[in-house]
Structure 1
Amino acid sequence: MYFFDFILMFISLIVLLLFVLIGVAFLTFFERKVLGYIQI
Structure 2
Amino acid sequence: MWNESRNMVGVNGRLLSAAKAYSSVFRGRGLSVREFVVNS
Q: Which runs of 4+ in 1 moved over 2 A?
A: none
What is the percentage of aligned positions where both structures have the same residue? 12
RMSD: 1.3
Q: Mind listing any 5+ residue stretches in structure 1 that lack a counterpart? A: none
> Who wins on radius of gyration, i.e. which is larger?
1
Matches within 5 A, 1:28-39: 28-34=24-30
Q: Mind listing any 5+ residue stretches in structure 2 that lack a counterpart? A: 33-40
TM-score, structure 1 as length reference: 0.73
